[in-house]
């Protein structure tokens, strides 16, 4: 029984699914199909079928890793503590920022559409690495489905705009994302009553080309304007200059915060913790989650844990459900 009330986007995604060459592309299309199906009794079976198909494809993808990656540059293996896409209109300085912040060196040029395919790079932040992906421009005439699928997969989005035309660029890019059901976290209240599945992503808006104090003033005006327009959903604006290397440390820290992760250190009994090698966990993770990451033996056999860090006294014994904070040091015993 095929429900007849599927939206047109479902069929568009289905067409793309049929044309897809690689398993990752196929998975992305199936996920898109899934997200367009309204949730009610009449679609239960269809959604269950799709879920099964996606699970099967994922297995196939795992068995052909490497091969698939070569075929589609849009499918980038996650590395480090988080995967973040730098997106935005042509010429806003995405590639320049990737050059300034990571070990990668994509081409930079004064003409638009310099970047044709995504390029990943690693950005050091204190004792962790965050993966940043340079992407081709996002624009009305350029809403490339592969790029949108890449954005659906990442942990956070950095929207890079130019201080010369920030308002229009922010509005246009967010409109394109939302037309494809990708909603920045700060705007999620606007979608409270929407039935379908949304891709909700933490977002920072990086206003680039703030090269001097005079642009700092323009940036301050922009912040005020946007805040007045939308006091309830404050847009997380950050200044930057890729060329003059200004404000970049603050950006790194804001991005770390946006990723919603904590760094926790393992201290083997009788030894010192290695502060260069944190375990990275989602905010809200517990001692039990941490134990599972450190060693599978601890999952079942964890006897006790002691902790040094926030909200505890040094070496305080804690249970499996204790929620960890960034920078905590934990000693596990099996």
Min dist. Cβ of residue 95 to ligand GTP (A): 3
Stretch of residues binding ligand GTP (CB under 6 A), selected from 32-40, 56-64, 85-93, 290-298? 85-93
Q: How far is the CB of 100 from Mg ion (least distance, A)?
A: 13
Nearest-approach distance from CB 222 to Mg ion, in angstroms: 23
Rg of the chain, C-alpha, whole Å? 22
**Alpha carbon 96 to its chain's center:** 20
Q: Which one of Mg ion, ligand GTP, none is in contact with 243 (Cβ closer than 5 to 8 A by kind)?
A: ligand GTP
Q: Give buried/exposed letters for 78-89 (b at 16+ CB in 10 A, else e).
A: eebbbbbbbbbb
Question: Is the CB of 24 or the CB of 118 nearer to Mg ion?
Answer: 118
Q: Binding to ligand GTP by residue 108, rule CB under 6 A? A: yes
Tokens standing for residue 272 = 């010192």
List 109, 165, 179, 334, residue binding ligand GTP (CB under 6 A): 109
The answer to the question of residue 317 lying near ligand GTP (CB under 6 A) is no
**Site track 47-76 with Mg ion (rule: CB under 5 A), x = hit:** ------------------------------
Q: Pick from 321, 325, 311, 323: which is nearest to 278 by CA?
A: 325
Question: Of 61 and 242, which CB lies nearer to ligand GTP in the complex structure?
Answer: 242
Shortest reach from residue 28's CB to ligand GTP, in Å? 22
Rounded Cα distance between 169 and 183, Å, is 16
Measured from the CB atom, the residue of 169 and 285 that comes closer to Mg ion is 169
Who's near 116: CB < 8 A, 6+ residues apart? 136
Question: In the chain, how long is the greatest CA-to-CA distance?
Answer: 65
* Least Å from the CB of residue 332 to Mg ion: 45
In contact, 172 and 140? CB cutoff 8 Å: yes
Binding-site size for Mg ion (CB under 5 A) equals 4
Cα–Cα distance, 267 to 121 (Å, whole number): 30
Q: Quick check: 115 binds ligand GTP (CB under 6 A)?
A: yes
Q: Does 96 bind ligand GTP (CB under 6 A)?
A: yes
Least separation in angstroms between CB 136 and Mg ion: 7
CB atoms within 10 A of CB 47: 16
Is residue 43 at the binding interface for ligand GTP, with CB under 6 A as the rule?
A: no
- Give the angle 144-226-160 at the CA atoms, nearest 5°: 35
Residue ranges in 118-157 that form contacts with ligand GTP under rule CB under 6 A? 137
- How far is residue 277 from each of residues 51, 281, 287, measured CA to CA in Å? 36, 13, 17
Does residue number 114 form part of the binding site for Mg ion (CB under 5 A)?
A: yes
Instruction: Classify residue 241 by its DSSP letter.
Output: B
Q: Tell me: does residue 95 bind Mg ion (CB under 5 A).
A: yes
Q: Where does this chain touch Mg ion (CB under 5 A) — which range of 34-42, 56-64, 114-122, 161-169? A: 114-122
Residue 126: exposed, middle, or buried by beta-carbon count in 10 A (0-12, 13-18, 19+)?
exposed
How far apart are CB 102 and ligand GTP at their closest, in Å? 13
Nearer to ligand GTP, 138 or 324 (CB): 138
Q: What are phi and psi of 128, to 5 degrees?
A: -130, 170
Q: Does 166 bind ligand GTP (CB under 6 A)?
A: no
The CA-to-CA distance between both ends of the chain, in Å, stands at: 53
Q: How many CB atoms lie within 10 A of CB 74?
A: 24
Residue with token string 């005439």: 141
Residues that bind Mg ion (CB under 5 A): 94-95, 114-115
Interface positions with ligand GTP (CB under 6 A): 90-96, 108-110, 112-115, 137, 208-209, 211, 241-243
């Amino acid at each position: 029984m095929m429900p007849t009330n599927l939206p047109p986007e479902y069929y568009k995604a289905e067409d793309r699914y049929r044309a897809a060459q690689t398993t990752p592309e196929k998975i992305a299309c199936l996920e898109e199909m899934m997200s367009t199906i309204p949730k009610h009794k009449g679609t239960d079976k269809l959604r269950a079928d799709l879920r099964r198909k996606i699970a099967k494809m994922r297995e196939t993808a795992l068995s052909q890793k490497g091969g698939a990656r070569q075929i589609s540059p849009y499918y980038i293996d996650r590395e480090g503590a988080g995967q973040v896409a730098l997106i935005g209109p042509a010429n806003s300085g995405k590639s320049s920022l990737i050059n300034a912040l990571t070990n990668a060196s994509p081409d930079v040029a004064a003409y638009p559409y310099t970047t044709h395919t995504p390029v990943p790079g690693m950005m050091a932040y204190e004792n962790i690495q965050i993966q940043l992906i340079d992407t081709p421009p996002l624009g009305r005439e350029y809403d490339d489905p592969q790029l949108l699928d890449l954005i659906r997969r990442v942990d956070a989005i950095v929207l890079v705009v130019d201080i010369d035309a920030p308002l229009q660029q922010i509005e246009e890019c967010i409109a394109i994302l939302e037309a494809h059901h990708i909603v920045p976290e700060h705007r999620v209240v606007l979608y409270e009553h929407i039935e379908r599945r949304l891709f909700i992503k933490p977002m920072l808006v990086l206003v680039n080309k703030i090269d001097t104090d005079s642009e700092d003033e323009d940036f301050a005006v922009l912040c005020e304007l946007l805040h007045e327009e939308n006091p309830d959903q404050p847009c997380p604006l950050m200044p930057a200059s890729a060329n003059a290397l200004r404000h970049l440390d603050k950006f790194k820290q804001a991005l770390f915060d946006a990723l919603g992760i904590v760094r926790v250190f393992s201290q083997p009994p009788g030894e010192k913790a290695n502060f260069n090698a944190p375990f990275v966990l989602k905010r809200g993770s517990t001692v039990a989650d941490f134990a599972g990451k450190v060693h599978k033996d601890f999952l079942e056999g964890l006897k006790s844990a002691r902790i040094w860090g926030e909200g505890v006294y040094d070496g305080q014994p804690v249970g499996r459900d204790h929620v960890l904070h960034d920078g905590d040091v934990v000693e596990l015993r099996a």
